[in-house]
Chain A
Amino acid sequence: MEISFDNVSYIYQPGTPFEHRALHQLTFTIPSQSFVAVIGHTGSGKSTLIQHLNGLLTPTSGVARIGPYVLQAGEKNKDLKSLREQVGVVFQYPEHQLFEETIKKDIAFGPANFEVRQEEIERRIYAAIDAVGIQSDMLERSPFDLSGGQMRRVAIAGVLAMEPRVLVLDEPTAGLDPKGQQEIMDMFYNLHQEKQLTTVLVTHSMEDALAYADYIIVMDQGELYKEGTPLEIFLQPQALNKVGLEVPEIISLSSTLEKEYGITIDYKKQTLEELAEMVAHQLKGRATHE
């Protein structure tokens, strides 16, 4: 599903002393089936932006289009329910929203609300727990008996059971251990490809933005600061530093090595293994010449 923002501004509590401009004349397009990372300093407008994607917020001015759905000021959108069926949002710390007695009921809650047939709900529950790595013998247990990492998976399964076409992820790995982080991101990436989803990832992890996104939107003070492929964005460290962001560590490591040793790396998403090979090769080659 293509997502496009045309001059979207959003102001919280307009006309009051608390008026706060969170988004300012934002224009961008996310092509269908792309994986886009939204990065920016705390308070740059990332969360406000994604709340437009499932109609939790409507622009104060401008137009947001999510597939066939149009959100604009002053117009009540009758299709909001259908929009929310298509756009699944995994909010920050989604496990805080678990509430049902059993894992099964919690996952079924979303589709049941959208009047999905019972057999279909059953099928989706099993597909969702399979995707997130929860065993089926756990379905009758209380979600509150699980560890934090497992609760996160159950909450995500609840979103997946909606079978959305667009997946919006707000810091989905915050608070997880390194292995858990990698597993969850790999899981989303596989789903993205398998189901041909359009995925929007809000993240503080520049590493994840580099590894998974095919396009990056950089926000600063409610405005679109830059957009481009991960390499276009991350090979401009000064521009990022200016808005309180840094490049992924592998890129800063490459540039340190280039600067300190005059090695040519020309970073193009090489893995750490490839990087080590380049560095070892060049340093050793130099030693034999001397």
Chain B
Amino acid sequence: MEKSFVTFKDVSFRYQEEQPWIFNGLNISVNRNEWVAIIGHNGSGKSTIAKLMNGLLFPQEGTISVDQMELQDETIWDIRKKIGMVFQNPDNQFVGTTVMDDVAFGLENHGIPREEMKRRIKASLNAVGMIDYIHHEPHRLSGGQKQRIAIASVLAIAPEMIILDEATAMLDPIGRKEIMKTVHQLREQRDVSIVTITHDLNEVTYADRVIVMNKGEVWYEGTPREVFAKQRQLDEIGLGVPLVTQFAHELKRYGMELEPEPINQKELVDALWKYHSTM
């Protein structure tokens, strides 16, 4: 019955005692093999959630459990093996002089035997399509390539969940697409939960479920389509909807109701054909 992989139960957190609460009784969960996008304005608490999930921060009240283990000092290392994180700045997360060394670093820290290490390095670089770069210097790669190496380093630990904390914010549009494609392919190969924390609305459309945070509270939870149907309310809390969805909203003014409401260009084209053929 237990399907939830990460569960926040009545979590309250603040950075310092005199400061206001970031969350006060937050309840959220991420299921096994689910892709959840967390969106919200700056300061809404998105990144704090990521840091609480793998024990970089601890809540003052409430419990966080991962894979049915409560997150505590004693369980933190077991839990960190289950959750890999990729951060915003690709340049801040490299330690090795070659791509191979870099992926090896995390494995060494986990005490993985040498032969197994070699196997995992290859497998994880293959998974992100970067095996040809195994002997390259990380700092010479493009931003998108660097983030794929960062994902490979995380994959090598064989985590059950990967958190991408604004991992595409510093990338150009093509680099962003590379990362989304990589995550997609990964999910086809193996079971893994994904949490993306992002401002990029097109990235949100890939998720199974979206959690919209506003001022430390869950403002709304639903599929991307359900979330983007609330265009006006999202505007009010400083968020937006994809251009294609805005376009579909505009078409309504001319009596053109598209079903289902499109969230990407392909869906728009399909919905317009359907509309046109019934006109």
Contact = CB atoms under 8 A, between A and B. Distances in A.
Interface in B170-196: 170-175
B279 A276 contact: no
B69 to A, nearest CB: 32
Contacts of A280: 251, 253-256
B40 A177 contact: yes
B10 interface: no
Interface in B215-243: 238-240, 243
22 contacts: A41-B142, A92-B170, A147-B43, A149-B43, A175-B42, A175-B88, A175-B199, A180-B41, A204-B171, A206-B173, A244-B172, A245-B173, A249-B243, A256-B268, A256-B269, A261-B276, A272-B246, A280-B255, A281-B254, A283-B256, A283-B272, A284-B279
B144 interface: yes
B246 A176 contact: no
Contacts of B273: 260
Interface string A244-288: 111001101100100011000000000011011101110110010
Contact of A175 (B41, B142, B169, B268): B169
Contacts of A273: 250
B158 interface: no
B166 interface: yes
A17 interface: no
Interface residues of B, number: 38
Interface in B24-56: 40-43
Nearest to B250: A276
B84 interface: no
Nearest to A182: B240
A287 B254 CA distance: 14
A179 interface: yes
A188 B42 CA distance: 20
B130 interface: no
B250 A272 contact: yes
Interface string A183-223: 00000000000000000000010100000000000000000
Contacts of A148: 42-43
Chain A interface mostly: helix
B138 interface: no
A125 to B, nearest CB: 24
B244 interface: yes
A41 B41 contact: no
A156 B127 CA distance: 41
B105 interface: no
B172 A42 contact: yes
Contacts of B238: 177-180
A279 B40 CA distance: 32
Contact of A287 (B42, B143, B276): B276
Given A245-B174, A246-B173, A287-B276, A177 B251 contact: no
Contacts of B126: none
A174 B169 contact: yes
Nearest to A247: B173
A14 interface: no
A176 B255 CA distance: 35
Given A149-B42, A256-B265, A279-B251, A178 B172 contact: no
Contacts of A181: 199
Given A175-B166, A178-B199, A276-B254, A41 B43 contact: no
B247 interface: yes
B174 A180 contact: no
A253 B265 contact: yes
A177 B250 contact: no
Interface in A29-44: 41-43
Contact of A250 (B199, B243, B253, B256): B243
B201 interface: yes
B239 A179 contact: yes
Contacts of A179: 41, 238-240
B276 A283 contact: yes
A41 B247 CA distance: 28
Contact of A42 (B144, B169, B253, B269): B144
A181 B269 CA distance: 29
Contact of B201 (A175, A178, A279): A178
A160 to B, nearest CB: 20
A149 B253 CA distance: 35
A98 to B, nearest CB: 16
Interface string A104-137: 0000000000000000000000000000000000
B142 A276 contact: no
A42 B171 CA distance: 8
Nearest to A39: B172
Given A206-B173, A245-B172, A246-B173, A260 B269 contact: yes
B185 to A, nearest CB: 20
Give the 9 A-B residue pairs with the shortest CB-CB distance, closest first: A276-B250, A280-B254, A179-B238, A147-B43, A149-B42, A42-B143, A178-B240, A177-B41, A204-B172
